[in-house]
A and B are shown apart, each in its own frame.
Chain A
Amino acid sequence: MPYDLDLLDETAWRDLVDRFGYRMWAVARAFGLNSTDAADAVQAAWLRLVESAHTIRDPERVGAWLVTTTRHEAARILRGRAGDAPTGLPDEIPAPDGDPVAVMLTEEHGRRLWAAVDTLPMPCRSLLRLIVAAPEAGYAQLARRLDMPIGSIGPTRIRCLKRLRSLMEDER
């Protein structure tokens, strides 16, 4: 059933919050944002939904759009925190459908990812576990916990995530 946002009733709105709130939160935290900033990123997506006023035809697509928009806003907040000059202008609002990868953010997909993580060599296994368990841990903290040089955390993180992704692609 198509929803017109102006007519969307509160029950349907709460249903969107229940179905997609956790995925939005997880995406914001995956950027390493603290809880205040992550909460801002999630709230941004809901506010953008209110102001974009497009017709909602399919709740799954709206869900993907909310997740994608959370990701955009989280990236923007992170850039601001990193001291990049803010332009004062918000990013473009994502296209109505969101990006297709956002749809894959399910518990089932996560479980298959964990199974793949368990097959990765060290230090990837430990590094990814720590990053997930302690989203706000900086590279210095990760380096201490894993007894690795701080300069190698970033490149190792990228390499481990690439390996994980290619394992998942092989599985398909």
Chain B
Amino acid sequence: MNDEEYLLAALRIASGADPVPARVSVEARAVYGLRLPGAVTAGPVELPTDGGAWPLSGVRSAIRSDGCSAEGEPRLLRFAADGLTIDVEITVCDSHLDLAGQMHPAPAKGARVEIRTPHVSKIRFPSETGEFATTGLPHGWLSVVCHRPGDPPVATRWHRIRR
């Protein structure tokens, strides 16, 4: 087994140098508040290789903000659980992220989508076809939660987006 990093980590611990930055501990404690008892976790699934099947380009062009368009292709992610598929498309900008998404099948009336980062939560009411979008998310970890009337919420695995 390759345990080089563990050897180095043990040396680091005993040396006492490089203590944990305060903000790392504060953030670790804050994760407690992100629990969603009863939620179903949606794992990532492979995207179809046929890129033409990706449905979100209309939503993306509607939300894309200035200063982001020249920077490469958006990140495409698909998550699924409990009969629900959540597609997410993220555009990485210099100072923030823009996000467009769609849930399949289209949600029942009263459904809402919560786009979460460790520090920010935004609520969106999806369109009749299940589309939703938001802008101005911070770089780092994010998760999308679909709250469905009468069914448990479905939360995507946390995903890290940085440049």
Chain A interfacial positions (CB closer than 8 Å to B): 5-6, 10, 13-14, 17, 21-23, 25-27, 29-31, 35, 38-40, 42-44, 46-53, 71, 74, 77, 88-90, 99, 101-102, 104-107, 109-111, 113-114, 117, 128, 131-133, 135, 158, 161, 164-165
List chain B residues, Cβ under 8 A from A17: 25, 28-29
Q: Is the CB of A53 within 8 A of B29?
A: no
A73 to B, closest residue via Cβ: B160
Q: In the docked arrangement, what's the CA distance between A32 and B10, Å?
A: 14
CB distance from B30 to the nearest CB of A (A): 9
B8 to A, closest residue via Cβ: A30
Closest 8 CB pairs of A and B: A110-B14, A30-B8, A46-B31, A30-B9, A26-B9, A110-B10, A47-B158, A30-B5
Q: Is the CB of B118 within 8 A of A43?
A: yes
CB distance from A99 to the nearest CB of B (A): 8
Q: Is the CB of B5 within 8 A of A27?
A: yes
Q: In the docked arrangement, what's the CA distance between A105 and B7, Å?
A: 8
Number of A-B residue pairs, CB cutoff 8 Å, is: 150
List chain A residues, Cβ under 8 A from B36: 50
Q: Is the CB of A135 within 8 A of B13?
A: no
Q: Is the CB of A107 within 8 A of B160?
A: no
A38 to B, closest residue via Cβ: B24
Q: Is the CB of A132 within 8 A of B75?
A: no
CB distance from A93 to the nearest CB of B (A): 9
Query: In the complex, which residues 1-57 of chain B have their Cβ closer than 8 Å to any Cβ of chain A?
Result: 1, 3-15, 17-21, 23-25, 27-29, 31-32, 34-38, 41, 44, 46-47
